Structure 1
Amino acid sequence: MTTTPTGHALALRRAAARIGQAIAGAALIGFHVAFTKPLRRWRTTWGATAAEAAATLPGDELVPAARWGYTHAVTIDAPPDQVWPWIVQLGQGRGGFYSYDGLENLIGCRVHNTETVLPDYQILAVGDEVWLHPKAPPLTVAMVAANSGLVLHGHDPQTADATIWAFHLHPVGDHQTRLVERGRGSYGPGLASRLAFGPTLMEPVSFVMSRKMLLTIRRLAGPAPEHS
């Protein structure tokens, strides 16, 4: 005889799972920070082919003198129009980031990662703002093409800090998508700028969070598991 978990029990299980994931994510970040240099080449091209990593993509021109960057990619068993809804609703106060929300919320992001497509967040236009943290300047939509690509851009002319966070959806046959994530960054000469926007911390942290995000999008957008 089996029993159905109560709502309280399910909530406890979910909370425990989030805590466990946060601990695992923090451990991964610590590992990657400690071994930044030997892991950098693998980490900055994770999942991407050599051609994808070397390609010039829309949005690259917004940070022409990038001082660091990365290209990550996954293959998703779904066409681009089924992947796009998960991309366009990204953001704090929107669909979240599909990553380690326990870690994000420790630094005050106030993120809730959805596992459903949210109809209210399916439209973005150039110039719209996408927030990463409620107290940090938002990124601006620099390019958006439904089922094809989204480029978010941040720039501070006073400090020379600049970044892009871009997603490009490339169809593979009729039923698959290559989701390519591209990040590029530059930073000014000041210590605060180097710490906040340089690769020493940002690159390993963004890798751990981005890898989790891409794998979650692959799961959410892909075919539903079959049940016997």
Structure 2
Amino acid sequence: MTDSPKRASFLSSFLATLTLAGAGAIGAYVAFIRPWHLRWGATEEEAKRPLLGDSLIENAKLQATHAISIHAPPEAIWPWLVQMGQGRGGFYSYEWIERLLGLYPSNANHIIPSLQELHAADAVPLAPDGVGLPVDIVVPNRTIVMHADAPIQARIAVMQAGYYRRVTWTFHLEPIDATNTRLIERWRADWEPTFANTLVIRALLEPGAFIMERRMLLGIKARAERAWAMREWTNGQ
């Protein structure tokens, strides 16, 4: 019987410590980690700069801008962007995570000639069932903007059918010089402002998208630089 007060005191102290640790972790994420991953690789100017397609969502609740330098000109990077998509060239990210999500990834390590046409009103497939993001803007060797703006047709997680969601996903190539390019990737989103929607997007979608998009940019960089290096080596022979 004498152990009960001690046990209760220990449990109370443990829960208080756990609560403080959790609050500290959340505070650190909001103050430091989230601002970092929302603009990973991007300069302050790149993160704030308006990009083609931004106006499609005027009052976005979320904007993430990521960027990477690639030792290749825009025309050597463009083919890797054009062929992206489920069942196409893939998204050059973590295949094991995509499999866990029920997808069937196949990330191409070469340029696929038959997938080098992309036009406004096409769609980039995101899933095996054909669900994809409509392409709104294509500026060859420079910019691709995908844009979805429609009510949700069926329940997705906590997002009820009929809720609206608006998304743009932009890839922009900015030449640095004759053989180097900045690839800037941005996504903007707006959604039905319910607590559940906001919680899922902030707590799950934001960090999850960053993990996949960071790996995607690194994958594009590796493929484009390898192909460009081979071309330079061949031309030098």
Question: 1:46 corresponds to which residue?
Answer: 40
Q: Which residue of 2 aligns with 1:187?
A: 191
Alignment partner, residue 229 of structure 2: 224
Distance 1:137 1:113 in 2: 18
C-alpha distance in 2, partners of 1:200/1:219? 30
The CA distance in 1 between the partners of 2:130 and 2:194, in whole Å, is 19
Does residue 168 of structure 2 align to residue 174 of structure 1?
no
- Check the 8 A contact 1:159/1:193 in 2, yes or no: no
- Asked whether the 8 Å contact 1:36–1:200 carries over to 2, the reply is no
Structure 2 unmatched ranges of 5 or more: 1-24, 152-161
Q: Distance in 2 between the 1:146 and 1:188 partners?
A: 34
Structure 1: runs of 5 or more not aligned: 1-31
> How far apart in 1 are the matches of 2:36 and 2:174?
22
Q: What corresponds to 1:106 in structure 2?
A: 100
Deviation at 1:35, TM superposition (A): 6.3
2:79 is aligned with 1:85: yes
Give the CA RMSD over aligned residues.
Answer: 2.2
What's 1:202 paired with?
205
TM-score w.r.t. length of structure 2: 0.76
Greater shift, 215-224 or 162-171, is seen at 215-224
Answer yes or no: is 1:117 the counterpart of 2:111.
yes
Distance in 1 (CA, whole Å) between partners of 2:75 and 2:34 is 32
SS in 1 for 2:104: coil
Indicate the percent of aligned positions where both proteins have the same amino acid: 41
CA offsets 1:60-96 (integer angstroms, 9 cap, x no match): 1111111111110011000000000001111101100
2:61 aligned with 1:67, yes or no?
yes
The amino acid across from 1:184 in the alignment is: R
- State whether structure 2 residue 149 is matched by structure 1 residue 146: no
Whole-angstrom distance in 2 between the partners of 1:90 and 1:193: 28
Structure 2 counterpart of 1:10: none
1:134 aligns with 2:128: yes
Which amino acid counterpart does residue 121 of structure 2 have in structure 1?
G
Match of 1:161 among 147, 165, 171: 165
Q: Say whether the 8 Å CA contact 1:36–1:204 is kept in structure 2.
A: no
In structure 1, C-alpha distance between the alignment counterparts of 2:119 and 2:105, rounded to whole Å: 22
The CA deviation at 1:51 is: 0.6
2: CA distance between counterparts of 1:127 and 1:36? 38
TM-score normalised by L of structure 1? 0.79
Helix, strand or coil at the partner of 1:224: helix
Per-residue Cα deviation, 1:15-74 (whole angstroms, up to 9, x for no partner) = xxxxxxxxxxxxxxxxx9996423011111111111100000011111111111111001
After superposition, the Cα gap between the structure-2 partners of 1:193 and 1:177, relative to the gap in structure 1 and judged at 3 Å, is same
